A and B are shown apart, each in its own frame.
Chain A
């Protein structure tokens, strides 16, 4: 069994303009998607991220009071899952509700360090 990270990018603009009802409906999709993964043991963890942040460079000498990326590139959340292969992980990621909000999902395997 391998571990994978889903890096979810973009969608912030659409998220902030969604109505309460729209948001509620959308979150129910997350509930269903993650619920299935929790039930079959695929899910490890996952969290949405705040838009604000700081970016540090040069050993922290250079601090920018916002995340590195912007717009479509901004990371909005992540998920950790375990499954057999990258292909299978990608198949699971296809159902990610964030696509409704124009997000991209990057699927990366956790790299074991020798």
Chain B
């Protein structure tokens, strides 16, 4: 039974990685407007692999097996549809698909290793077209490039399959109507377009990393895929930009702590109580390597600073060793680049550590009129912490209770309830 599970996991990992590449290549062959057809071909190949491998075992080169199956299926479809209007055969390269003299070789040409890498990145840029909403971008990436089923995407976003289907439909419609061609952008726009791609990867990562999800496996999958996508950018010279390295570093640092954040029973473990020996040293090392590479050029992005903050946490041997002063400097720089109320909130926590509750309350009061923050659980949670330190127990309990009401996460609700109990114990 257990062996069966590992096989299943190996396959699901392989399928996740390969289905995106197959989608990207097939999109070049059939056009992005035929995405449904493309997904069918990929799905067929995966199902056929599962059925065949169940009896014959996994072949020596499963990737080649999958590609061959998808190629053959693509050839079938072209033979059947060469006189239909479904596929646009007018481009020079595709024209060779309609002649039997050149069909098979042309399909092979589309499937060259270097080509696949570029197609995959091109597809990433297509998915992250600036005119497509961010929500739609990540939904589409997970579905088309990461091989998630609609059900799995719904699960990772905590929304209904219906919502996901609608988002996918809108994106496909956009592709069809605007004839989007997947390609790596030209040099003059690569920085700008990469920004959108990084943003999507970052959001995706947060979606997987945030503790609001009950399904651990799915969350880990989303995080892995975010790392995989970012790494794909780093493998291509044209997209080895400082901010890409910075985001990679940031995600590595966070990922190193992922397993220490939640107990087996599903309760949250705060940074100060995490067992630091359980942090993934390899990941931290990888993060540091990337952060070093992120330092070339004059670009400083929010990813650089967030990575620098995360690094400070990673290299403190114990919670008490944390260099809060440095962290505060990074937060100030962050707010300088881009004023973000959430960053401001987190900065208040640092002030609480560094300068005490009164200063923290003073800072927090500056933004108490912000109605959006009033609806954000973290604002109330931090307020609770501050009041607790100031021994204003009644206010502390009230704040924690507000936080409980506002968070969607079971784990966080539990955490704040335990905080309320701590204060209640203190009062006696």
Contact = CB atoms under 8 A, between A and B. Distances in A.
A102 interface: no
A106 B221 CA distance: 60
Contact of B101 (A39, A41, A77): A77
Nearest to A35: B96
A31 B101 CA distance: 7
Contacts of A47: 99-101
A79 to B, nearest CB: 8
A34 B102 contact: yes
A71 interface: no
B101 A35 contact: no
Contact of A35 (B98, B100, B102, B104): B102
Contacts of A39: 92
A28 B108 CA distance: 11
B96 A27 contact: no
Nearest to B97: A38
A63 B253 CA distance: 78
A6 to B, nearest CB: 11
A90 interface: no
A48 B101 contact: yes
A104 B406 CA distance: 81
A62 B172 CA distance: 54
B104 A43 contact: no
Given A38-B92, A38-B95, A39-B92, A31 B102 contact: yes
A34 B92 contact: no
Contact of A46 (B92, B101, B106, B109): B101
B99 A27 contact: no
A45 B98 contact: yes
Interface residues of A, number: 15
Interface in B186-221: none
Contacts of A41: 92
A30 interface: yes
B95 A30 contact: no
Interface string A35-77: 1001101010111100000000000000000000000000001
A31 B99 contact: no
Interface in B81-100: 92-93, 95-96, 98-100
Given A38-B92, A39-B92, A46 B99 contact: yes
A27 B104 CA distance: 9
A56 to B, nearest CB: 24
B105 A27 contact: yes
Contacts of A31: 96, 102, 105-106, 109
B107 to A, nearest CB: 11
Contacts of B93: 38
Contacts of A46: 99, 101
A47 B95 CA distance: 12
Interface string A75-106: 00100000000000000000000000000000
Interface in B105-154: 105-106, 109
A31 B109 CA distance: 10
Nearest to B91: A38
A36 B243 CA distance: 41
A27 B101 CA distance: 7
Contacts of A34: 96, 99, 101-102
B96 A38 contact: yes
Contacts of B98: 45
Interface of A: 27-28, 30-31, 34-35, 38-39, 41, 43, 45-48, 77
Given A30-B102, A30-B105, 18 more contacts: A27-B101, A27-B102, A27-B104, A30-B101, A31-B96, A31-B102, A31-B109, A34-B102, A35-B96, A38-B92, A38-B93, A38-B96, A41-B92, A45-B99, A46-B99, A46-B101, A47-B101, A77-B101
25 contacts: A27-B101, A27-B102, A28-B105, A30-B101, A30-B105, A31-B96, A31-B102, A31-B105, A31-B106, A34-B99, A34-B102, A35-B102, A38-B92, A38-B93, A38-B95, A38-B96, A41-B92, A43-B95, A45-B98, A45-B99, A46-B99, A47-B100, A47-B101, A48-B100, A77-B101
